[in-house]
Amino acid sequence: MGQIWNVADPTHGSNRRFAANGGIGEPSQPRGEEASGTAASWPAEAPPTIVPARAGGAHAREYRSRGARSTGLTSRGVILLLGVATTLAGLVGSILFGHRNALFGITFAVVAALCALSVRRRDLAVAVIAPPIVYCVAIVVVSLVDARHLAGGFFSRETFYVADAFVTGAPAMWVGTGLAALLAALRRLSGPSGRRR
């Protein structure tokens, strides 16, 4: 009969018998248990917890979808950014050049497009509806400074200036609104709902 060695098994807290021929025997008892004649008890191992891959993937997709919808400018941010940038451009043009110039229309169109690109996906409609309204409000604000050189009373000057601004500035207003609508439509079609359709 071959020689047998007792080797400690750290995974079970007991010893295993290794025979000289390479075979593995039964686990040996600790010395105290050998003296008492009791058998070594093996600790029960809890079964591993299995998480379904589909459930985890669904939760991850839902989390990413919520994150994509919640990032970007809010509807108030779009109105505030577009209104402040357009009004400042009009005031700067009036102060530096004596009259509202092309800087007003260019700033409006560029900022309207940027707002359509950076607004939250659920607020894309605001990026399309807000530009013409903001343009009208900015014209009225700029007219308070830019219409002072016109003759007549306050209301006649304001009426003439605003009417002229809508006629001469209509291309800029429609270009900015059209760019915002086009970019918003592209973002809507490239989103998850658009790809599913």
Residue 43 resides in a domain: no
Same domain, 76 and 166: yes
Q: What pLDDT is attached to residue 197?
A: 46
Q: What pLDDT is attached to residue 150?
A: 78
Residue 86 resides in a domain: yes
pLDDT in tens, 126-177: 999 999 999 999 999 999 888 877 777 888 888 888 898 888 888 999 999 9
Residue 47 resides in a domain: no
Pick the closest to residue 90 from 132, 143, 130, 131 (CA basis).
Answer: 143
- CA dihedral defined by 48, 54, 55, 59, rounded to 10 degrees? 130
Q: What pLDDT is attached to residue 117?
A: 95
Return d(Cα 39, Cα 44) in angstroms, integer: 15
User: Is the pLDDT reported for residue 83 higher than 70?
Assistant: yes
Residue 14 resides in a domain: yes
Six-digit token string for 142:
């700029």
- Pick the residue with more confidence: 65 or 153? 153
Residue 55 resides in a domain: no
Q: What pLDDT is attached to residue 158?
A: 87
The highest-confidence range among 21-25, 54-58, 96-100, by mean pLDDT, is 96-100
Q: Which residue segment(s) compose the domain that 136 sits in?
A: 70-196
pLDDT band for position 2 (50/70/90)? low
Is 56 in a helix, a strand, or coil? Answer: helix
| 169-192 per-residue burial string, b: 16 or more CB within 10 A, e: under 16 | beebbebbbebbbebbeebeeeee
